[in-house]
């Protein structure tokens, strides 16, 4: 009884810390007023106080010349799918170029990237006023549906919007796994075949839009050299390589540690990849390093889904330089996953009729996690092995609420007792914005409308 009461006290105390930390954060722009609660519930299971109280931020704010901006367009595991969080997607922008002719954005980032594009993320991109032309480079960590399902929407409707150029998709080469073992069968399961089948699957859709012009007359496709690619960028299918329906896979050798996916000397961005452990060969993490106009580097790692492994640690150590932002997945304990999936607020008692169902759910969740994911405590241990510590660590792919985050924070602090919530580590949520500068990192909440339309398409006059 005393132990239970003590645990409850600790948890609620951390919830209070989450709220207080959010209020203490520096403003992002404007008056930086904290937001009011975004939901009517006061239950710790149904709100994320930390995010609610972050300073509001207008996503149309131009980047500063030495700013890297990260917006979480999705932050959730696929089971359960819920309204509060879309599946995974991370949008990264760097630098800024003024454009007086752009009446909406007034310019554009020096470069921009989408990492993963799971279900539900399209609505968040639209709410954040990110047009399709800004989503033309998509890096897929692995080909699970919760990391690529909204790619279908972006590919199909981008040409009807303002992306009048090809869609480039990075991903792994075929896994080479014999499946099932001993069968001699090795499926063509890499990004090239994925894109080829996707292109053909939507043939009716693309042909039905034949009345529209979908290729900008002045578009010059990138070359292997200009983008620092591992091979020539060649579309699947028979589309013109300048057309918006051209789907261009960039195949990466998933087994390489530090393989170069993209290295653009014009924008100063280099993206490398490394293997991680998630279900099947072919899963990768990415590291993005941007050389700022001032000559320094800003860096980010996005591991996506993985068990604890050493490549992520070594990449985050970065030859002793460390990284600015380290984004790594985390899962709740199997028991929590099980009872929440059953619609319960706590595990059932052993004499409860549902206890047998609960035990089976725990066993199933344990099997999944052991093969594919990083538990709360393991996350803490992994982070303790990274020196120097990232300026900011972000746990993602996680069902956030005050109760789950409080529990996870305690687990992580078991290995990193010096961590402070908000300063050193946060849990991501849809439309959380990180503004990363050489001397500071600001955390914000994108101020968006649930009824937003996509921004106006900027289309050359000759295509109208």
Selected residue with higher pLDDT from 272 and 369: 272
Q: Could you write out the DSSP letters of every residue in 404-420? A: HHHHHHHHHHTT-TT--
> What is the pLDDT of the chain when averaged over all its residues?
91
**Radius of gyration of the chain, Cα coordinates, nearest whole angstrom:** 22
Band of pLDDT at residue 30, cut at 50, 70 and 90: very low
pLDDT, mean of residues 225-234 = 98
User: Is residue 463 domain-resident?
Assistant: no
Enclosing domain of residue 77: 2-331+373-449
Span 158-193, pLDDT tens digits: 999 999 999 999 999 999 999 999 999 999 999 999
The pairing of strands 167-172 and 247-252 is parallel
Span 60-117, pLDDT tens digits: 999 999 999 999 999 999 987 889 999 999 999 999 999 998 888 999 999 999 999 9
Q: For residue 7, count other CB atoms closer than 10 A to its CB.
A: 12
* CATH code of the domain containing 171: 3.60.15.10
User: Is residue 360 domain-resident?
Assistant: no
User: Is residue 366 domain-resident?
Assistant: no
Q: What is the pLDDT of residue 456?
A: 80
User: Is residue 358 domain-resident?
Assistant: no
Provide the token pair at 63. Answer: 């980047």
Global confidence as pTM: 0.92
User: Is residue 109 domain-resident?
Assistant: yes
Rounded CA gap, 5 and 299, in Å? 43
Rounded CA gap, 329 and 140, in Å? 15
Alpha-carbon distances of 448 from 286, 368, 369, 431, 445, rounded to whole Å? 28, 35, 34, 9, 9
Alpha-carbon torsion 242, 247, 253, 256, what sign?
Answer: positive
Q: Are 75 and 117 in contact (CB under 8 A)?
A: no
Return all residues near 49 (Cβ < 8 A) that are at least 6 apart: 15, 18, 19, 22, 402
Band of pLDDT at residue 372, cut at 50, 70 and 90: very high
User: Is residue 223 domain-resident?
Assistant: yes
Determine the angle formed by the axes of helices 376-384 and 402-413, rounding to 10 degrees: 40
Closest CA to 93 of 67, 61, 119, 121: 67
Q: What is the pLDDT of residue 460?
A: 67
Rounded CA gap, 398 and 418, in Å? 22
Closest CA to 428 of 10, 70, 28: 70
Q: What is the pLDDT of residue 45?
A: 87
Rounded CA gap, 147 and 373, in Å? 15
Q: What is the pLDDT of residue 144?
A: 97
Q: What is the pLDDT of residue 81?
A: 81
> What phi and psi, each to the nearest 5 degrees, are found at residue 384?
-65, -20
Return all residues near 18 (Cβ < 8 A) that are at least 6 apart: 49, 50, 402, 405, 406, 421, 422
User: Is residue 37 domain-resident?
Assistant: yes
Q: Are 174 and 188 in contact (CB under 8 A)?
A: yes
Q: Are 266 and 228 in contact (CB under 8 A)?
A: no
pLDDT, mean of residues 347-362 = 95
Q: Could you write out the DSSP letters of every residue in 412-447? A: HHTT-TT--BTTTEEE--TTEEEEE-SS-EEEEEE-
Closest CA to 265 of 319, 316, 228: 228
The pairing of strands 247-252 and 259-264 is unpaired
Q: For residue 78, count other CB atoms closer than 10 A to its CB.
A: 15
Q: What is the pLDDT of residue 80?
A: 78
> How many domains does one find in the chain?
1
SS3 string, 32-93, reads: CCECCCCCCCCCCCCCCHHHHCCEEECCCCCCCCCCEEEEEEECECCCCCECCECECEEEEE
User: Is residue 455 domain-resident?
Assistant: no
């Amino acid at each position: 009884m005393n132990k239970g009461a003590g645990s409850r006290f600790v948890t609620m105390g951390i919830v209070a810390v989450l709220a207080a930390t959010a209020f203490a954060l520096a403003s992002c722009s404007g008056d930086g007023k904290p937001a009011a609660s975004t939901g009517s519930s006061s239950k710790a299971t149904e709100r994320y106080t930390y995010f609610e109280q972050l300073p509001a931020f207008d996503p149309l704010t131009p980047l500063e010349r030495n700013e890297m901006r990260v917006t979480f367009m999705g932050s959730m595991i696929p089971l359960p799918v819920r309204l509060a969080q879309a599946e995974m997607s991370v949008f990264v922008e760097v630098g800024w170029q003024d454009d007086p002719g752009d009446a909406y954005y007034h310019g554009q980032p020096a470069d921009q990237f989408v990492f993963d594009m799971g279900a539900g993320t399209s609505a968040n991109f639209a709410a954040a006023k990110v047009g399709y032309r800004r989503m033309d480079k998509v890096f897929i960590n692995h080909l699970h549906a919760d990391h690529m399902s909204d790619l279908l929407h972006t590919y199909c409707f981008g040409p009807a919007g303002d992306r009048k150029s090809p869609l480039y998709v990075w991903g792994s080469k075929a896994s080479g796994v014999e499946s099932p073992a001993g069968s001699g069968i090795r499926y063509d399961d890499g990004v090239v075949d994925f894109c080829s089948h996707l292109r053909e699957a939507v043939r009716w859709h693309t042909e039905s839009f034949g009345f529209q012009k979908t290729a900008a007359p002045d578009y010059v496709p990138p070359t292997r050299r200009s983008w620092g690619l591992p091979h020539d960028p060649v579309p699947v299918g028979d589309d013109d390589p300048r057309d918006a329906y051209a789907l261009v896979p960039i195949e990466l050798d998933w087994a390489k540690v530090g393989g170069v996916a993209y290295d653009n000397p014009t924008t100063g961005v280099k993206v490398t990849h490394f293997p991680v452990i998630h279900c099947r060969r072919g899963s990768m993490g990415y590291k993005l390093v941007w050389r700022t106009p001032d000559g320094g580097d800003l860096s980010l790692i996005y591991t996506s889904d993985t068990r604890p492994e050493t490549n992520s640690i070594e990449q985050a150590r970065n030859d002793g330089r460390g990284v600015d932002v380290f984004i790594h997945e985390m899962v709740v304990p199997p028991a929590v996953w099980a009872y929440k999936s059953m619609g319960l607020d706590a595990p059932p008692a052993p004499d409860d009729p549902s206890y047998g169902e609960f035990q089976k759910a725990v066993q199933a969740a344990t099997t999944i996690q052991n093969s594919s994911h990083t538990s709360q405590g393991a996350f803490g241990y992994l982070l303790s092995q990274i020196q120097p510590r990232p300026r900011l660590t972000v746990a993602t792919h996680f069902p956030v609420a005050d109760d789950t985050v409080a529990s996870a924070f305690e687990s992580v602090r078991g290995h990193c007792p010096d961590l402070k919530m908000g300063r050193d580590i946060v849990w991501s949520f849809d439309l959380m914005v990180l503004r990363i500068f050489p001397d500071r990192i600001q955390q914000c909440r994108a101020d968006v409308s649930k009824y937003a339309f996509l921004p106006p398409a900027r289309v050359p006059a000759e295509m109208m």
